[in-house]
A and B are shown apart, each in its own frame.
Chain A
Amino acid sequence: MIRIPHTIVNSIIHTARRGAPLETCGLLGGQGEVISFFYELTNADASAEHFTLIPEEHLFAIKDARRRGLNILGVVHSHPASPARPSEEDLKLANDPNMLYFILSLAGPEPVLKVFQIRQHIPREVPLEIAIGTREYGRLVLPDSVVQDIQGVRHQVESFVRKETDAVRFRAYRVPMGLYEQRQDGAYMARTRLPGGVADAHQLETLADLAERFGQGVLHFTTRQDIQLHNLAIENVPTVLETLLGAGLVCRGGGGNTVRNITGSPLAGLSPTETFDILPYVVQISEHLLPHAGSYNLPRKYKIALVSEIHDERLLRVADLGLRARLKDGQPGFEVWAGGGMGTHSLPSVQIAEFIPAQEAVLYAEAIKRLFDQYGDRTNKHRARLRFVVQRLGESAFKELVQQFLAQVRQEIKTVPPLRVRQYAAVGGKVLSELLPDVVEGVGPGRYAIRFRPWLGDVTSAELRTIAQAVKRYALEFRADCGQGFYLAQVKGEDVAAILETLKAFYQPVPAAAPLACTGAATCRLGMCLSRGLAQAIRETVLALPEDRQKSLPRIRISGCPNSCGQHPVAELGFYGAAKRVGGRLMPFYNVVVFRPEGKTLGQKVGDLPAKAVPAFIQQLESLDTIAETLAAFQTYPSYEEAPDYYRDWGQTVDFSLAGRGPGECGAGVLDVIELDLKTAENELRQAENSQGAVSSAALYQAAVAAMRSLLIIRGVETQKPREIFSAFQQHFILPGWVDPAVEKFIPALLDFRLGDLADLQAWGPLVRSLAARIRELYASLDGNLNFRITPLAIAEKAADALAAEPASDLHQVDLRGTPCPMNFVLAKLEIEKIPVGHRLEVYLDEGDPIKNVPASFQDQGQNVEKIGDAPGKGKSVIIRRTV
């Protein structure tokens, strides 16, 4: 019984149909009785009745198969108009008794594939099984657990739709499944992971079909080799995921605190410039990590990148685990980097090992996962990524820990078979960019790879179908890249022109005219600036430049906020959104970042400028070496009266505002603006202290306005007008009891001062100071959902009133020193059940595990851990506020 994957059968059929009425031919590689690779070869005869292989191609296939650890098991050719049985000619020429002769007939209504062994010119048909989901080169076999997880989606979704599951709990379920809610309510995005960027034509067609049926035809290529479906109604999500599963695609781990898609250099196995073919390792690591439930409940996301080409190395430094292909004494292996990542606080990874044998890559992936699982800070998701573990422990302690976990993993995983990889004796392939930009030499005689960059990664379902058809028609390999685009590889020289013509909408030979941008404030709650609008403006600017200037500019990467979704930390020229107050108004701004691939750090900020000045800046930018000088010319900002346009973001006709933006996950943008206002308030307060009379009063007034304004943004209020600030502050902060109620009496004084009816505010100095301090305290307590983690004063007071009979303090104590884990937690929990909700319990604990474990256990159970510290004479102490 010979097994052949249905995808390969499809390729054979497509090749035959395309070649008809002439016969087409090829070779099939595999191991034992399983076919796993198809080499489409040229029929030198160009005949409708017979075929001959070209020796050069034949030899290439044999060598290539050997590099992949395969044997050539069969030869396949088509019978465009005759049945699927060997012809007289076929029998006469067949002289290898071990070879399998595959014949595809197109004579009937449906194609028929049969396979024969031919001994002494007598054919014997061999049973053939067309297998779905068998192992194929570069394709992972989905673990059963993942398949089952996806089969459970329908139940979870139905339960949510019936309102049996609340939105919060459903979110906790769906995000690790790769399902995100979009900014508009009720619309969902499904992120399909493509390990190494690999997808076949059938999978691309499936994605296109699903987008068309359920997602308004919208698809998006990400920066990590995923393809996203958008605008899905929740009711359709189960069908979408099940259909994807049927095509061998999954979204599991597409989001949330999971092992995310494992990326690889997109032309792995298809490029003569690579060190060796890393794709088998991408697959191996994926297959190892995907089945473990622990891979979906990490402190934060875990991104792994494998790199085998020089120009992808930037990705190595921003991955939680980066593996760079190396050869040592001819043996494949990896250089290991860990703890890199991009976000509001991007950090480059540190080197863990200079060289490890390639088969150990999976051990490192597992060890780092365990280390991260145990040491990642689950209490603060803004500091949860692996890079903060490195920062907290220090590089050398971190490296030691890696070795400890590695030793543990080695105990459990004794043998990992080395994978056979393609390996090139010398790195010497040439990029044929002098011929055509973005067309590079592929492997095999006369084969090329072409890079495509759909605008900002967006394609329609019809466009994706066109791509899929090209893959089929020209027998290409599709690979998503790490820059919102894709490659088509194994292009025959004579097909290059036709393919470029078919897909010209995506072919952008000027990198600078195809910026990479995050989704931006238009659809992202975190965003500050409309990054996509800027990308469009840059494109127009670049395309208007003379050709030599166009080529001299690098690809530009834009993030709408300090989060690095637009990959600005690894951009040769990057921008990230910000906001500045100019004359009391907010102006959309961008910070400019430059990354030197050879450097040891990530991109460094070189300055900033108004969003509206960016195109002019790019126009004038002669060279990255003189960027500071160019930037200096953009440091004066027009007033609102002179150029109101500067106060509006790209594509907007209304003034720039951050109202309604939330931090969601990180929210750095909004927090920056709050910080700015708070700093202003604190500076004004210092000014008030260091001055007298009218100057001091004016400073107090400014301090009060800035302090009151700062937090309004998280309540959706963004205004410059003092009267509006006061009334909104009254509504959102004074009445709910977040600040001292005495502030209410202060507002009339502020209004009087503004109108000139009151000249001296100095009597209010202490109140303004305590207000600013309280606002700072509230700000510091903001959690990821923009809620304050401290209790409003009013509630604290009411609780105190209600318990007037009790002692004034709401703080209860229990001494559990000497009680080991977990009994100390059990007893502390029984104590907290005795106190009213809102009260606090201080627990005295021993050092070591007790003070580590007990607060974490309370945190897990939804109680509020307010303080962990030393209790003089009583060991360690934790204060917990009972919230449930």
Chain B
Amino acid sequence: MELTQEQIVRYSRHIMLKEVGGEGQKKILQSKVLIIGAGGLGAPVALYLAAAGVGTLGIVDADVVDLTNLQRQVIHATPDVGKPKVQSAQETINQINPDVKVITYQTLFKAENALAILGDYDFVVDGTDNFPAKFLINDACVMANKPFSHGGILRFDGQTMTVLPGKSACYRCVFNEMPPAGVVPTCSQAGVLGAVAGILGTIQAAETLKYILGYDDAGNRHACSLLTDRLLIMNAKSMQFREVRFKKNPDCPVCGAHPSINRLADYEQKACELKREA
């Protein structure tokens, strides 16, 4: 492919970078990224990847835009309340960058459709807000050998890591099992500072772009390294970032040498107790 004049201008600040260049920008334009969840994390991820010119963005979300979403889900606007989130996100992305093709999936990400949706995407971003989905995404990505970025936020805290199945530790290497329902509250129970979603989401977007550019190992000549084998944990109150390092667990139930999880299942844990009662 050749860059058009408009693309050269649009992406000039990328092209100037030693680590991107025209070749790197073409890689971005040809890449396909799946974002699961068009909420607090998915919104900044989708906005930045769209602006960066990711050629195909798949967006999975079953919900419609709610007024309570707008405090942090910056891809949706007030007139979008009531619209399916995937549609609202698609409209915003189209306005930002006509280069981006958006594929929408207005459904929950479930065991039965997971592998079909993952399809031929190059990279997956976990922007979900509940443990069953996070474990499912991890297991599905490991089985389908899809690299992905895990992200999670709560109150003033956030955490993220990048997983290259087979190469680096997966989410289950770190968190073997999900916590029992109710032990860890979700955003809608406990609240979240909107900007924390932005911080975490943009980190995930940066990881996505680095992966697309081919910086998936420490030996690349530009010294970019992905957030693999380390969990980045941030707290916006003290505004401190720290890293917890770990290794691939050889006994991991999904990516270990003898995996005990061999097929996908929808895990039992209610995402939000309060919402159900409401």
Q: Are A830 and B3 in contact (CB under 8 A)?
A: yes
Q: Which of these, A169, A823, A826, contacts B223 with CB under 8 Å?
A: A169
Contacts of B275 in A (CB 8 A): none
Q: Are B225 and A826 in contact (CB under 8 A)?
A: no
Q: Which of these, A164, A166, A825, contacts B16 with CB under 8 Å?
A: A825
Interface string of A19-50 (1 = CB under 8 A from B): 00000000000000000000000000000000
Q: Which of these, B18, B23, B218, contacts A164 with CB under 8 Å?
A: B218
Q: Are A829 and B22 in contact (CB under 8 A)?
A: yes
Given known pairs A165-B223, A833-B22, the reply for A857 and B16 (CB within 8 Å) is yes
CB proximity of B21 to chain A, nearest CB, Å: 6
CA distance A822 to B22 in the complex (A): 15
Q: Which of these, B3, B9, B218, contacts A823 with CB under 8 Å?
A: B9
Is B15 positioned at the interface, with any CB of A under 8 Å from its CB? yes
Q: Are B8 and A884 in contact (CB under 8 A)?
A: no
Is A827 positioned at the interface, with any CB of B under 8 Å from its CB? yes
Q: Are B8 and A827 in contact (CB under 8 A)?
A: yes
CA distance A333 to B8 in the complex (A): 55
Q: Which residue of B lies closest to A833 (CB)?
A: B22
Interface string of A813-830 (1 = CB under 8 A from B): 000000000110111011
Number of residue pairs A-B, CB distance < 8 angstroms: 34
Interface string of B1-40 (1 = CB under 8 A from A): 0010000110010011010011100000000000000000
Q: Which of these, B18, B22, B223, contacts A862 with CB under 8 Å?
A: B18
Contacts of A862 in B (CB 8 A): 18
Is B221 positioned at the interface, with any CB of A under 8 Å from its CB? yes
CB proximity of A310 to chain B, nearest CB, Å: 50
Is A626 positioned at the interface, with any CB of B under 8 Å from its CB? no
CA distance A860 to B222 in the complex (A): 13
CA distance A165 to B22 in the complex (A): 26
Given known pairs A826-B12, A833-B23, the reply for A860 and B223 (CB within 8 Å) is no
Contacts of B16 in A (CB 8 A): 822, 825-826, 829, 857
CB proximity of A230 to chain B, nearest CB, Å: 29
Contacts of A827 in B (CB 8 A): 8
Q: Which residue of B lies closest to A827 (CB)?
A: B8
Is A653 positioned at the interface, with any CB of B under 8 Å from its CB? no
Is A809 positioned at the interface, with any CB of B under 8 Å from its CB? no
Q: Are B12 and A884 in contact (CB under 8 A)?
A: no
CB proximity of B233 to chain A, nearest CB, Å: 15
Q: Are A826 and B8 in contact (CB under 8 A)?
A: yes
Contacts of B223 in A (CB 8 A): 165-166, 169
Interface residues of A in 619-646 (CB under 8 A from B): none
Q: Which residue of A lies closest to B26 (CB)?
A: A833
Interface residues of B in 220-264 (CB under 8 A from A): 221, 223, 225, 243
Q: Are B18 and A830 in contact (CB under 8 A)?
A: no
CA distance A825 to B3 in the complex (A): 16
Q: Which of B8, B18, B221, B225: most chain A Cβ within 10 A?
A: B18
Is A861 positioned at the interface, with any CB of B under 8 Å from its CB? yes
Q: Are B15 and A884 in contact (CB under 8 A)?
A: no
Interface residues of A in 812-865 (CB under 8 A from B): 822-823, 825-827, 829-830, 833, 857, 860-862
Q: Interface SS of chain A: helix, strand, loop or mixed? A: helix
Interface string of A161-179 (1 = CB under 8 A from B): 0001110010000000000
Q: Which of A164, A826, A861: most chain B Cβ within 10 A?
A: A826
Q: Are B18 and A826 in contact (CB under 8 A)?
A: no
CB proximity of B44 to chain A, nearest CB, Å: 26
Q: Are B15 and A826 in contact (CB under 8 A)?
A: yes
Contacts of A166 in B (CB 8 A): 223
Q: Which of these, A155, A164, A169, A829, contacts B15 with CB under 8 Å?
A: A829
Contacts of A823 in B (CB 8 A): 9, 12
Given known pairs A830-B3, A833-B23, the reply for A860 and B18 (CB within 8 Å) is yes
CA distance A829 to B9 in the complex (A): 13
Contacts of B221 in A (CB 8 A): 884
CB proximity of A157 to chain B, nearest CB, Å: 14
CA distance A862 to B18 in the complex (A): 9
Contacts of B21 in A (CB 8 A): 829-830, 833
CA distance A120 to B15 in the complex (A): 79
Contacts of A857 in B (CB 8 A): 16
Q: Which residue of A lies closest to B5 (CB)?
A: A827
Q: Which residue of B lies closest to A858 (CB)?
A: B18
Q: Which of B3, B12, B23: most chain A Cβ within 10 A?
A: B12
CB proximity of A861 to chain B, nearest CB, Å: 4
Q: Which residue of A lies closest to B20 (CB)?
A: A829
CA distance A166 to B9 in the complex (A): 35
CB proximity of A443 to chain B, nearest CB, Å: 46
CA distance A833 to B21 in the complex (A): 8
Interface string of A729-755 (1 = CB under 8 A from B): 000000000000000000000000000
CA distance A861 to B221 in the complex (A): 12
Q: Which residue of B lies closest to A861 (CB)?
A: B18
CA distance A453 to B197 in the complex (A): 60
Q: Which of these, B8, B218, B225, contacts A830 with CB under 8 Å?
A: B8
Contacts of B218 in A (CB 8 A): 164-165
CB proximity of A169 to chain B, nearest CB, Å: 6
CA distance A165 to B219 in the complex (A): 8
Contacts of B225 in A (CB 8 A): 164
Q: Are B9 and A830 in contact (CB under 8 A)?
A: no
Contacts of B15 in A (CB 8 A): 826, 829-830
CA distance A500 to B15 in the complex (A): 67
CB proximity of A670 to chain B, nearest CB, Å: 30
CB proximity of A839 to chain B, nearest CB, Å: 16
Contacts of A155 in B (CB 8 A): 243
Contacts of B243 in A (CB 8 A): 155
Contacts of B18 in A (CB 8 A): 860-862
CB proximity of A814 to chain B, nearest CB, Å: 13
CA distance A822 to B8 in the complex (A): 12
CA distance A829 to B8 in the complex (A): 11
Contacts of A833 in B (CB 8 A): 21-23
CA distance A833 to B225 in the complex (A): 24
CA distance A155 to B245 in the complex (A): 11
CB proximity of A833 to chain B, nearest CB, Å: 5
Q: Which residue of B lies closest to A158 (CB)?
A: B245
Interface residues of A in 143-163 (CB under 8 A from B): 155
CB proximity of B29 to chain A, nearest CB, Å: 14
Residues of B within 8 A of A (CB): 3, 8-9, 12, 15-16, 18, 21-23, 218, 221, 223, 225, 243
Supply 9 further A-B pairs (C-beta < 8 A) apart from A166-B223, A823-B12, A884-B221: A155-B243, A164-B225, A165-B218, A823-B9, A829-B21, A829-B22, A830-B8, A833-B21, A857-B16
Residues of A within 8 A of B (CB): 155, 164-166, 169, 822-823, 825-827, 829-830, 833, 857, 860-862, 884
Q: Which 8 A-B pairs have the closest CB atoms?
A: A861-B18, A830-B22, A826-B12, A164-B218, A826-B15, A833-B22, A169-B223, A826-B16
14 residue pairs of the A-B complex, CB under 8 angstroms, read: A164-B218, A165-B218, A166-B223, A822-B16, A823-B12, A827-B8, A829-B15, A829-B21, A829-B22, A830-B3, A833-B23, A857-B16, A862-B18, A884-B221
